[in-house]
Amino acid sequence: MVNTKVNLCGIELSNPVIPASGTFGYGYEYAQSHDINVLGTFSFKGTTREPRFGNPTPRIAECTAGMINAVGLQNPGVDKVISEELPKLKQCFHKPVMANVSGFSVEDYAYTCQRLDAEDQVGWLEVNVSCPNVHGGGMSFGTQPEAAAEVTRAVKAVTTKPVIIKLSPNVTDIVAIARACEDAGADGISLINTLLGMRIDLRTRHPIIANTMGGFSGPAIFPVALRMVYQVAGAVKIPVIGMGGVSCAEDVIEMMLAGATAVEVGAANLINPFACRDIVDNLPAVMQKYGIENLNEIIGGAHENG
């Protein structure tokens, strides 16, 4: 029997597979089709202090081996997440869940994280300083080490649960930002969020997405994500969650060899609602194929051989 268990910031997961924020709602939507408790955990939809309608439509554009989205953090706000979404989730998911938080000021981040930190269901706070689809917030905090560290310190000051900072790939030096977050007290780093991309309609000669640009995700970005996970994992001592174009169990293994303790799956869920379940199901066979008995033994393995 292979061992798929991993430990993420002090909490044991039955496996490292985590649906990424924005691709799995608040969980209960997917629970209508299958048992979501097979997952290690999942990161629920990005939550802000106040409700957000999101960006104007169209918000989605297809592209080769991926997609572009500019949803714009549509969510009901933290009060309703706590009063309405989490009770529904509790009926179908019986493990700690990862709360994804976005903000437009340092105070926003701290307030929302403090509220969610008090919820028993929340195991980790994934603080998104990397959203490329929102004007005036999100990624503006994730492009400079000092700003990312400021958010990290503010959140850590008002929370007791592990804080994982989600970083943007749309920067020159992602390692410097990761180190700044670690120095400011982050318990983990997750990366990468989407790359910045766009498409143009040849008939109208205008951008397809109303927001002009959006987050590029899907299998096409996997090599970039893998490279950044490898770089950051080699530079920090805290756990790394890898994501970006992951669509199969082999991708999970590759991310872990690059240094990821756990692996998030994003766009694949929008193509196939059973994607994460299938990856979890396939993981033991892929481990056996490559002679892996315990996933913990391969974390960062490429660094040892590289």
Domain range annotation of the chain = 6-52+71-198+215-305
DSSP code string of 102-136: --SSHHHHHHHHHHHHT-TTEEEEEEE---TTSTT
List the alpha helices (DSSP H) in 184-266.
222-233, 249-258
Report the top-level CATH class of 6-52+71-198+215-305: alpha beta
pLDDT recorded at residue 73: 86
Measured CA to CA, the distance from residue 35 to residue 75 in angstroms comes to 24
CA distance 132 to 295: 32
Three-class SS state of 67: strand
pLDDT at residue 54 in the model: 85
Coil vs helix vs strand at 210: coil
Q: How far apart are CA 246 and CA 266, in angstroms?
A: 7
**Could you confirm whether 131 is annotated as catalytic?**
yes
What pLDDT tens digit does each residue of the chain (306 aa) get? 899 999 999 999 999 999 999 999 999 999 999 999 999 999 999 999 999 988 899 999 999 999 999 988 899 999 999 999 999 999 999 999 999 999 988 999 999 999 999 999 999 999 999 754 444 444 567 788 999 999 999 999 999 999 999 999 999 999 999 999 999 999 999 999 999 999 999 999 999 999 999 999 999 999 999 999 999 999 999 999 999 999 999 999 999 999 999 999 999 999 999 999 999 999 999 999 999 999 999 999 999 655
Which of 9, 131, 181, 276 is the catalytic position?
131
What is the pLDDT, as a whole number, of residue 135? 46
